[in-house]
Structure 1
Amino acid sequence: MSDLLYIPIKDYVTHNGSCIKTINLSYQLFGNPLHTAPIVLVNHALTGNSNVAGKDGWWSSLIGDDKVINTKDFTVLVFNIPGNGYDGQLFNNYKDFVTTDIAKLFLQGLKHLKIEKLYATIGASLGGGLAWEMVALQPNITKYLIPIAADWKSTDWLIANCRIQEQFLENSKQPIHDARMHAMLCYRSPQSFKHKFNRSTNEDLQLFNVESWLLHHGKKLQGRFQLSAYKLMNQLLKTINIERDNDDITSVFKAIKGKIHLITIDSDVFFTSDETEETYSTLKSLGVDVHLNIIESYHGHDAFLIEYEKLNAILKPIFS
């Protein structure tokens, strides 16, 4: 695991006008030293962090020596979303931030590191939405934009689920535990549950196995994630919107100079494939250099953490 490094950002004014005196933007580097190889920026998902490669890296099936994103050929840079708790930094008022704020902070981080152009910006779920926000603010920043199981906006369906999450986080006696149980329904699919459990029971606990699995995931996240961090990440997931300061989404799309590779999952009930296909059609009609790949999987949204062979096959030509 590489060391955590820090960029101090002073007097940051958020989109809603709040002033944050100091934000320590933490990051990790993997592979080649900075400015000696093409740079790949990886944006982490809701409960992820900057540790993407190596023994404990959460995306080590994708990133590392001789992996599809080969750390022998690239420099891999990963910022922690400020407030995710991985670096010990937390914020009490999660409603101070929207996703655009994190994109602006990441772009400030790139400027501080004297990075003018990225080879690729890749992220899944919230990380993919954040990648969209970055290119909306700085259309020339990356050669390849690769949002996986993500879109440029939070849909009504996504906002509704985030609202339910918020209710758990604000009102439950076990907020992280109970919110996570609900979230797991969004991260998988009815087909994946049928395939995994098939209405089987745990006789010792006198529960359906799907119930004990949900309870396990609630307990597991409760043990490693902090409440203020979860509230903030949920707020960011709810506020993805590159149209925020623009009257016309087409002008935002047309300004993007890089090649866009959209990757969606056919059983995803969180960032649905039909929304991604609609985004693809709009981009294509505007003459944007865009490609669409659909991963066929019954695993749902979490397929980006499970279907590595299919994901590797899609990404290999981009990173070869």
Structure 2
Amino acid sequence: MENIPNPIIIQEFITESGASYHSIPLHFTLAGQPLHSAPIVLVNHALTGNSQVTGENGWWNDLIGEGKTIDTSVYTILAFDVPGNGTNSFLIENYLDFTARDIAKIFIEGVKALQIEKLFAIIGGSVGGGIAWEILALAPNITENLIPIASDWKSTDWLIANCFLQEQILNNSSKPIEDARIHAMLCYRSPESFKEKFQRTINQELLIFNIESWLAHHGKKLQKRFQLSSYKLMNQLLKTIDITRNSESFENLLSQTKASIHIVGINSDLFFTAKENVETYEELKKFKDNVFYSEIDSVHGHDAFLIEYKQLDHLLADIFKAETIKK
């Protein structure tokens, strides 16, 4: 992983809500081939992630690396930290100032600052996929491929409802990060996933159900590494994905792009449902040819995009290995 010590400084940024920021540091990482020497893949992280996508501590290193699906010997991997995600000292206290579209605008500025004319692909899971949709709607010629995984172009009522509950917990709980994480884990997994993993077993040491000790453990673990202001911000971004807000219709926005759109759903996702993904695909097919839908088959719910690497490799092989063959 090639770490770039100096962030890009986004100056005089005005958010969609009219808030003014004199300067916003945009931290990023580069991995794989040197910039401008190979096709570039932009990877957008999810709620508690960061720009460390590959290498020893990379959160997607089963997918990205030498000889992996997104091969670092073929591609340049670019990843931005969502400003305020807590990976560095810059934090955003007024989380309501920002929407997913603001982050998309900041990322586009970052791409321009690095003098990148065109990306080979933008890929992201969950809120990262939502930001990817927003980027394409704002800059239809920025990429050849859009790959939103376990995501969609808008936050549904169900998703907004869960984000609202998260916000209530984050603002009102005496242990906000722990409690919010416990609730979030219920959205990220599925009833079948818990059944398979725990079988109603008891933790003999604590004399509570294993599911309870597992949830408590995840709460404590996140509390140690994540900041409250970062959680509030990332939750707000998840709640505000909508490429059509104060904008044109879905068709008008997406008929402007020549990019291939590869939607990857998860059959057990309770957060961004497969049904919603299929509806998006069918809507796109009415006016666009190069749109594809594929589905991860898993009991693990939303988090399957971080678990089912073999399936993901199989579903993405055509996009990324074709580039290898072409060379």
TM-score (norm 1): 0.99
Matched, 1:248 2:246: no
Amino acid at match of 1:3: N
Amino acid at match of 1:37: A
TM-superposed deviation, 1:204: 1.3
TM-superposed deviation, 1:246: 2.1
Residues in 1 aligned to 2:309 and 2:175: alpha-carbon distance in whole angstroms? 33
Residues in 2 aligned to 1:287 and 1:98: alpha-carbon distance in whole angstroms? 27
Matched, 1:302 2:292: no
Residues in 1 aligned to 2:190 and 2:265: alpha-carbon distance in whole angstroms? 14
Unaligned runs of 5+ in 1: none
**What are the superposed Cα offsets for residues 293-314 of structure 1, whole Å, 9 maximum, x if unpaired?**
0111000000001000000011
Residues in 2 aligned to 1:59 and 1:287: alpha-carbon distance in whole angstroms? 30
Identity %: 58
2:255 partner SS: helix
1:257 partner SS: coil
Instruction: Give the direction of change, closer, same or farther, for the CA distance of 1:270–1:152 in structure 2 (3 Å limit).
Output: same
Match of 2:100 in 1: 99
Residues in 2 aligned to 1:245 and 1:76: alpha-carbon distance in whole angstroms? 32
Matched, 1:123 2:124: yes
TM-superposed deviation, 1:203: 1.7
Residues in 2 aligned to 1:151 and 1:288: alpha-carbon distance in whole angstroms? 19
Residues in 2 aligned to 1:256 and 1:151: alpha-carbon distance in whole angstroms? 17
Match of 2:272 in 1: 271
TM-superposed deviation, 1:87: 1.9
Matched, 1:111 2:142: no
**What are the superposed Cα offsets for residues 92-125 of structure 1, whole Å, 9 maximum, x if unpaired?**
1000100100000000011111111100000000
Contact between 1:52 and 1:63, CA under 8 Å: does it hold in 2?
A: yes
Contact between 1:254 and 1:288, CA under 8 Å: does it hold in 2?
A: no
Residues in 2 aligned to 1:287 and 1:132: alpha-carbon distance in whole angstroms? 15
Unaligned runs of 5+ in 2: 322-327
Residues in 1 aligned to 2:82 and 2:245: alpha-carbon distance in whole angstroms? 20
TM-superposed deviation, 1:257: 1.3
Q: Which moved more, 1:197-206 or 1:224-233?
A: 197-206
Residues in 1 aligned to 2:61 and 2:140: alpha-carbon distance in whole angstroms? 29
1:228 partner SS: helix
Match of 1:80 in 2: 81
Match of 1:3 in 2: 3
Amino acid at match of 1:106: F
**Equivalent residue runs for 1:256-295 within 5 Å:** 256-295=257-296
Contact between 1:44 and 1:127, CA under 8 Å: does it hold in 2?
A: yes
Match of 1:149 in 2: 150
Residues in 1 aligned to 2:33 and 2:254: alpha-carbon distance in whole angstroms? 32
**Equivalent residue runs for 1:1-320 within 5 Å:** 1-4=1-4, 5-320=6-321
TM-superposed deviation, 1:247: 3.9
**What are the superposed Cα offsets for residues 228-275 of structure 1, whole Å, 9 maximum, x if unpaired?**
000000000000000012242111121121000000000000000000
Residues in 2 aligned to 1:87 and 1:27: alpha-carbon distance in whole angstroms? 11
**What are the superposed Cα offsets for residues 122-173 of structure 1, whole Å, 9 maximum, x if unpaired?**
0000000000000000011100000000000000000000000000100000
Residues in 2 aligned to 1:225 and 1:289: alpha-carbon distance in whole angstroms? 39
